[in-house]
Amino acid sequence: EPEVTQTPSHQVTQMGQEVILRCVPISNHLYFYWYRQILGQKVEFLVSFYNNEISEKSEIFDDQFSVERPDGSNFTLKIRSTKLEDSAMYFCASSEGGAQHFGDGTRLSIL
Amino acid sequence: RKEVEQDPGPFNVPEGATVAFNCTYSNSASQSFFWYRQDCRKEPKLLMSVYSSGNEDGRFTAQLNRASQYISLLIRDSKLSDSATYLCAVTFNTNAGKSTFGDGTTLTVKP
C-alpha cells in the first residue's frame, strides 16, 4: 500500500537554528498538508498546499514557517529560526481530495 | 465552543465489549468526516470515512447525524489490539480543506 514518508524521524536542533523537514507524499495525490502535535495535545493544522501554492494556513504558520515542493516529489516544511515551543511531532499528510493519509512524523526537539 | 469535541474518556473496557465514541462539530457547513486511530507517539491512521448513510467495516460502524452535528464510532467485540486513541476529524471542504481534529478519546481494552 502506498504511503507518505517523512525524514528525518527525529531532529534535534539548537534554538534559533533553521530546520527543514521532508516529506514524500503518495505519488498520485494532489493535496499536501503539514500538521503538528505537541506532546499530550491534539493534532493541529499548519498549512495546506495545492497546485504549487498555499491553500490555507493557520495562525501557527507565521513568517518563520515556509513550505516548498522543490522537485515534484518532495514537500518540505522549513522553520527559519526555531523556538523552544516548536518542539513537537510534525506530520505530513496527502490526499486525492478526500481522506488524508499521514506520514509517520518527524519528532523535532529544540534545545 | 470547540470546533470539534470528543467524549473525554478514557474508556476502559473488557475484551469482547461494545464501546461507542461520540464527536460533535460546531460548523454546520462541514463536509467530510473521518475517524482515525492513533497509537502512542505514532501518526494518525485512517480508520474510516463517515458517510451520511452510515457505514460499517467489520467490527466498526460509523454514523453521521447532520441535524445534530455529531458523528459516532461503534466498536463491537473489542480486542486488546483496539487499545489506542481514537480521533475524530472534520473538514469544511471536500478537496483541499484542512482537517480539524478532536482531542481524541483513549480506549484501553483489558483481558
pLDDT, position A97? 87
Give me B20's grid cell.
461507542
Closest residue in B to A92 (Cα–Cα): B43
Q: Per-residue confidence of chain B (111 residues) as pLDDT tens digits?
A: 789 999 988 999 999 999 999 999 999 888 899 999 999 989 999 999 998 888 999 999 999 999 999 999 999 999 999 999 999 999 987 667 899 999 999 999 999
Asked if B101's CB is within 8 angstroms of A31's CB, the reply is: no
Spatial neighbors of B87 by CB under 8 A, at least 6 apart, are A43, B6, B35, B36, B37, B38, B44, B101, B102, B104
Query: Distance (Å) from the C-alpha of residue A16 to the closest C-alpha of chain B?
Result: 26
Asked if A56's CB is within 8 angstroms of B46's CB, the reply is: no
Asked if B98's CB is within 8 angstroms of A48's CB, the reply is: yes
Instruction: Using CB atoms within 10 Å of the CB of residue A95, give its burial: 0 to 12 exposed, 13 to 18 middle, 19+ buried.
Output: buried
pLDDT, position B21? 95
A36 in contact with chain B, both atoms CB, cutoff 8 A: no
Query: Which of A17, A14, A20 is closest to A6 using CA atoms?
Result: A20
Cα–Cα distance for residue pair B108/B85, rounded to 1 Å: 9
Cα–Cα distance for residue pair A35/A93, rounded to 1 Å: 8
pLDDT, position B95? 62
Which residues of B lie closer than 8 Å to A, measured between beta carbons?
32, 34, 36, 38, 41-46, 49, 87, 89, 94-104
Q: What is the DSSP letter of A72?
A: S
Phi, psi of A86 (to 5 degrees): -80, -10
Phi, psi of B93 (to 5 degrees): -145, 130
Q: Per-residue confidence of chain A (111 residues) as pLDDT tens digits?
A: 779 999 999 999 999 999 999 999 999 899 999 999 999 999 999 999 998 999 999 999 999 999 999 887 899 999 999 999 999 999 999 999 889 999 999 999 999
Per the document, the length of chain B is 111
pLDDT, position B94? 64
Pairing of strands B44-50, B32-38: antiparallel
Query: Distance (Å) from the C-alpha of residue A45 to the closest C-alpha of chain B?
Result: 7
Cα–Cα distance for residue pair B44/B35, rounded to 1 Å: 9
Query: Which of A34, A80, A76 is closest to A57 using CA atoms?
Result: A34
Asked if B94's CB is within 8 angstroms of A105's CB, the reply is: no
**Bridge partner residues of B84 (DSSP):** B107
Across A1-111, where does the E strand assignment appear?
5-7, 10-13, 19-24, 31-37, 44-50, 53-57, 65-68, 75-79, 88-95, 101-102, 106-110
